[in-house]
Amino acid sequence: MSPSDESSSARPRLSIALTLGLVGLLLVMGSVVFVFRARAQEALAAQSAVPSRATDTLEQPIAFSHRVHTTANAIPCQLCHTYARRGPVAGIPSVQRCVQCHLTITPDAPEIARLMAFWEAREPIAWLRVHDLPDYVRFTHKRHVAAGVACETCHGDVARMDAAVQTAPLTMGWCVSCHQERSASIDCLTCHY
């Protein structure tokens, strides 16, 4: 048998093996997509039944009032939440930023005396988190701010709150329905690692 005969008889077998392999791969891919879809539908159904959470005011370490700063004194949100337009997190201001103003603004008020105690001890203020997505969710402020979505759309009327409270449900259905309205991506990997 010459080498050329051998390869010509092997070719049909090779293509059958390839076809079977391909069909198998498609079946596996199909069922992965199917399971993923089913899980997403379950997740959506489960979530529409869950009421919004964390709407109670938390007892923060200092009685900080958004209303006093933003409404009464017209300080813009992004003067304190500086990273909102630049990165994933909006950030909470450092003690230093508070002190820059309060060395001269109402330095004798009791809550400012507590602020200065943190400053002198070189200790950060342990603000309690209000919003907290699960770790498997990918979220970024930057893209939303760049697309012109206002802080209030997702956080409510913070300018009239004292301590911030959560007003939006932050469920998957909430995210996805705005993404659909605004023609933003609803690909699973947009929001999941």
Considering only residues 49 through 88, tell me which ones interact with ligand HEC, judged by CB under 6 A.
60, 62-64, 66, 68-70, 73, 75, 77-81, 84
Per-residue DSSP letter, 61: S
Q: Using CB under 6 A, which residues numbered 151 to 170 contact ligand HEC? A: 151, 153-155, 158-159, 163-164, 170
Q: Using CB under 6 A, which residues numbered 116 to 135 contact ligand HEC? A: 127, 129-134
Q: Does 35 help bind ligand HEC (rule: CB under 6 A)?
A: no
Residue 23 vs 35, nearer CB to ligand HEC: 35
C-alpha 177/C-alpha 64 separation (Å) is 33
The tokens for 34 are 């199917």
SS3 (DSSP) at 137: strand
Residue positions counted in the chain: 193
SS3 (DSSP) at 192: strand
Q: Indicate which single residue of 46, 103, 113, 117 sits in contact with ligand HEC (rule: CB under 6 A).
A: 46
Tokens 């993404």, residue located: 179
Region of 1-9, 17-25, 26-34, 172-180 interacting with ligand HEC (CB under 6 A): 172-180
Q: Does 91 help bind ligand HEC (rule: CB under 6 A)?
A: yes
DSSP calls for 146-168: HTT--HHHHH-SGGG-SS----S
C-alpha 49/C-alpha 32 separation (Å) is 26
Interface pattern 134-153 for ligand HEC (x via CB under 6 A):
x--xxxxx-xxx-x-x-x-x
Q: Does 111 help bind ligand HEC (rule: CB under 6 A)?
A: yes
